[in-house]
A and B are shown apart, each in its own frame.
Chain A
Amino acid sequence: MPNYPSPTLVWVHGDSLSPTNPALLAYPDAPAVWVWDEELLNQWQISRKRIVFIYECLLELPVEIRQGNVMEKLTQLMQEYGAQKLVTTQSPSPRFQHICQELSRQFTLEILAIPPLIPPQKYLDLKRFSRYWKVAEKHIYPH
């Protein structure tokens, strides 16, 4: 078990399974955790091959692996480590955002950005891909 107690806990989720995940890079000494979201796995009947693939990704990361209700498990882990701050990386998933909203009532929550493919735009028309691409192609690669 790394560094008991720790003021900070890193939460790794399924959109950021890289050892270069910005949360892991920013807090290399903090303990990091992953929680298998049992409800999600059951609801979507996620097949065994997907779980094995993700598990193999996790084995290359310095994370403690748990399973259950994500909110409950994270709350429990924060208490176990005596941590006050939870650090994670951004995700567009509404489920992730809901969990973050709930957790931020109990702890300081820091959500780090993933390096973007194109720089943030003041306005981006997403009506169709062609409109997005007109802007994206100017920024995506030097030419």
Chain B
Amino acid sequence: MQREFASREDLIAYVTQVFPGAKGAVSETVGGRRAALYKLAQLQPHSYGDTRNYLDGAVTGLSPYIRHGVLTLAEVRDYLQSQGHPWSVVEPFLRQLAWRDYWQKLYEQWGEGIWQDREPYKTGFTAADYGEELPEEIINGTTGLPCMDSFSQELQTTGYLHNHVRLWLAAYIIHWRRVKWQTGAAWFLMHLLDGDPASNNLSWQWVASTFSVKPYYFNQENLARYTQKKWCNSCPHLGKTCPFLGSYEQLQKRLFPHAELPQSHSRLGTRR
């Protein structure tokens, strides 16, 4: 196959021709080692830990390169070491590298088993209660919820979502729309440049509660806080028909009426 291209547009045209089944937009994120090393040099471990859960936080954008081995985990760690950063500064970021290593180790053990529920749902529902199909309005971005519609569009156009957004969108699909996590996970894998079966599926299972002790869910206050109210400010549902409105206790009763879950949910932030 062709290796010489005059421009990125040329490459895109060629890909469109030789992979007629591959649909959709092209991301602005450029592949390759040069781009990866450039991103690595921008890494800000000092602010990463404090701001990573915020949409405008100092996230690194390294995940597509790490997923495809353009950079290895060890190499990223060695880079931090070469910069002389102390443990206290790099610990939050290293923890995220460790999550990737952890998922890969489980993948080695479980293989295709990452597609199966590792444990029963702790939501008071059984797997059979969850739908197989992803609702069209989620794919089309026409649910009428400005936040979720925007997340869906971003996934499909950029091939990237902030980690917190992944959790919110996954929780919405599983717990508010009661769709099987496998359906959502497959949709993410189509689009995410960093789409890795292990990291992706096992994170979906963590949200679903099939690989954790309780389901992950959020409320409007949490989403508003970490997005600087980007979507809430102009949302027609705000304060009225927002499905995420309420305390964690209220949402728990509404979403998981049959579940026996611990009462105290302090989910100010995101645990991961």
Contact = CB atoms under 8 A, between A and B. Distances in A.
A140 interface: yes
A52 B102 contact: no
A17 B109 contact: no
B186 A65 contact: no
A56 B11 contact: yes
Contact of B73 (A47, A51, A55, A117): A117
A31 B60 CA distance: 34
B94 A21 contact: no
Interface stretch (A1-9, A74-82, A99-107, A124-132): A124-132
Contacts of A122: none
Assign chain B's interface to a size class: 35 or more
Interface string A33-61: 00010000110111111111111110110
Nearest to A124: B105
Contacts of B197: 93
A17 to B, nearest CB: 5
Contacts of A52: 11-12, 15, 26-27, 31
B38 interface: no
B163 interface: no
Interface in B63-106: 64, 68-75, 77, 80-81, 86-87, 90-91, 94-95, 97-99, 101-102, 104-106
A142 B88 CA distance: 11
A40 to B, nearest CB: 11
- Main secondary structure on chain B at its contact with chain A? helix
A89 B72 CA distance: 12
B262 interface: no
Contacts of B98: 117-118, 129, 132-133, 136-137, 140
Interface residues of A, number: 51
Given A15-B69, A55-B15, A49 B25 contact: yes
A123 interface: no
Nearest to B33: A60
Given A53-B29, A59-B32, A117-B101, A94 B1 contact: no
Contact of A141 (B35, B72, B94, B158): B94
B22 A51 contact: yes
6 shortest A-B CB distances, which residue pairs? A56-B31, A143-B87, A94-B111, A53-B31, A92-B107, A16-B69
25 contacts: A15-B68, A16-B68, A17-B31, A18-B72, A21-B69, A45-B23, A47-B25, A47-B156, A48-B23, A49-B25, A49-B158, A49-B193, A52-B11, A52-B15, A53-B27, A53-B159, A56-B11, A65-B2, A114-B72, A116-B74, A117-B98, A136-B101, A136-B102, A143-B86, A143-B87
Interface of A: 14-21, 36, 41-42, 44-57, 59-60, 65-67, 89, 92-94, 97, 114-118, 124, 126, 129, 132-133, 136-137, 140-143
